Structure 1
């Protein structure tokens, strides 16, 4: 049984936020004290570390489920199927729908149910539910869809990753420059074509690592501390990712029966350019190899970190030749890998 991605789609928001747009922000330390560097220096250092030059924010009238719907519609059209054929809609996110200029998350009904409604699917046997798994949520949705199809309880699944992180950022926190909005989607189905999902690996580290990413108050003590924003311990996440993600990728690849030399592309969560480069370098070091040129397409420099949306969006862009000097050919072996809040990690070996 071959279970493959037969359609992809993405939605990249229209509002462009460049690094220089942060020059007038009041950035503060975690204790509320003033940072003794001009914003131009802060932004320059940020670019050097993360690789991010700009990011996209959703228009005020659009919610996360809207972005998810736009990407889903494109994936269904690309797969050339009728939406009524879908057995599952699995939607990965972190914060639900947050209307612009509000502080309350809305996930009732689920975002997957909202997307199903927007798609005008009448079939009650099309089951719609959300996945909360941090940034690796889209990968985990793909793994679940694979399991459903392999078990014979589904034939076609839609897996979406969507997020509007711009609505949960503390404008006084330098890390707010990392986050962005977007959505990516795929249709997965059983097919007679060669390839598809070959192996996968997931893990949750929740003992010491539980609060590496968390919801916390603003760095500005004059603001309401009961209003929470996305926060992270960047150094701890960096060290965690370098320690665990390459091992998960290696375990997944070894279980696939394929060789490291078979791998043509690594589509990794667009979290931080330097961190992603270090992860892939360490992964190849486990095989006593250097990183092949062009193995890791990147979109973070223009799109920022849109959490669960980064990998499906990147896949859609590469597939449609929208990233310079990057393409995927029939038969190429790809590794999807991600790390995020939980702390969760996962990897998938896929033959295109």
Structure 2
């Protein structure tokens, strides 16, 4: 069996920083309120004229450089995003063109905050079957243009960023992606959505007037849902590979809210120190969150050869999942 492995990681966050103190001047909120409920202290905001594909390309180039390959080596490109440059065509083909990856086929994936994990799973199928040798998976979100800046329940949460992974066959049979496990529940779709702008509610004066083209969410219900489904997802991955919670060396998680991560790890009995946390600096960057966390932990020298890494993510859909990788 061919195991796939992450050959290179990369990340990008815009230069502009929006702090909680800045938000105090924009909406009825406080630094203490945001920090206590979310763990977020600041988030990044894309520059005027900067598009999702621009951020994705920077992260991709960092990942390619680490992997020691060029854009021409890529067989496929998956961009996980809910904030593409435009509805048509895909953000992925924009990234392909900007990178000069002429050999690669490219497409977008919509699984919100779980997008990069879904993308990793798809890439793994192409690698393990020999259909592809080099796959670029990018999670990129420009959410600052999708939030209602008058809604303190959502505007304090999200930030702009991109994270990338180059995936290929593992050269060492003892290393690589062991398994991925994906789930969804469309019955919970109303918890987090952008209700307007699609075929159900096409763009109109009414949609714009009611801010239906902006993110709407029920944070309390999302918290309860996440804390309920993520621990079993990690246990599912461990059981599939005959491993125990105590075998986990690192948790790499999508970070929507620090309280969710803390609660999930507490239920699993995993020390918080095993999870790379950067939510305080970036906020919720949706599909970019997991690969950025992986990249930071990787570049900090936190991940050692042979370490067991458990990944988890949950997003709108609701869509969630887990993965296990021997680094």
Instruction: Using structure 1 for the length normalisation, give the TM-score.
Output: 0.86
Deviation at 1:216, TM superposition (A): 5.1
Cα distance, 1:293 vs structure 2: 5.2
Q: What is the Cα deviation at residue 142 of structure 1?
A: 0.4
Structure showing the higher helix proportion among its residues: 2
- After TM superposition, give the deviation of residue 215 of structure 1 in Å: 1.8
User: Equivalent residue of 1:91, what SS?
Assistant: strand
- Structure 2 CA distance for partners of 1:171 and 1:15, relative to 1, 3 Å: same
Does 1:113 find its partner at 2:93? Answer: yes
Task: Check if 1:49 corresponds to 2:37.
Answer: yes
In structure 2, the residue matched to 1:256 is 241
Structure 2 match to 1:161: 139
Q: For each residue in 1:223-279, what CA deviation from the matched residue of structure 2 results, as whole angstroms up to 9, or x when unmatched?
A: 822552111100110010111111111111110222222110101111000111101
Match in the other structure for 2:200: none
2:171 equivalent to 1:192: yes
Map residues 100-179 of structure 1 onto 2, 5 A cutoff.
Answer: 106-123=86-103, 126-174=104-152, 175-179=154-158
In the other structure, the counterpart of 1:31 is none
Relative to structure 1, the CA distance from residue 216 to residue 172 in structure 2 (aligned partners, 3 Å threshold; closer, same or farther) is farther
Q: 1:83 aligns with which of 67, 71, 77?
A: 71
**Aligned partner of residue 135 in structure 1, secondary structure:** helix
Q: Cα deviation per residue 1:307-348 (whole Å; 9 max; x = unaligned)?
A: 000010011111111xxxx71111110011000100011100
Aligned counterparts, 1:283-302, within 5 A: 283-284=268-269, 291-292=270-271, 294-302=273-281
CA contact (8 A) 2:262 2:272 kept: no
With the length of structure 2 as denominator, give the TM-score of the two structures: 0.92
SS in 2 for 1:331: coil
Cα 1:151–1:210 shift into 2, 3 Å = same
Of 308, 319, 323, 1:333 maps to 308
CA contact (8 A) 1:17 1:55 kept: yes
Residue 34 of structure 1 corresponds to: none
Aligned residue for 1:95?
A: 83
Native 8 Å contact 1:9 1:316 kept in 2: yes
Aligned pairs (5 A) from 1:200-349: 200-207=180-187, 209-215=188-194, 224-225=209-210, 228-284=213-269, 291-292=270-271, 294-321=273-300, 327-349=302-324
Match of 1:4 in 2: 5
The answer on whether the counterparts of 2:11 and 2:164 sit within 8 Å (CA) in structure 1 is yes
Partner SS state of residue 138, structure 2:
strand
Stretches (4+) displaced over 4 A: none
Aligned residue number for residue 33 of structure 1: none
* Structure 1 residue aligned with 2:199: none
Find the residue that maps to 1:109 and give its secondary structure.
coil
Name whichever of 255-264 and 136-145 sits farther off.
255-264
Q: Give the secondary structure class of the aligned counterpart of 1:294.
A: helix
> d(CA) in 2 for partners of 1:111 and 1:253?
34
RMSD: 1.6
Contact 2:245-2:268 at 8 Å conserved across structures = no
Q: Which runs of 5+ in 2 are unaligned?
A: 197-205
Could you tell me which runs of 5 or more consecutive residues in structure 1 were left unpaired when the two chains were aligned: 28-38, 98-105, 285-290
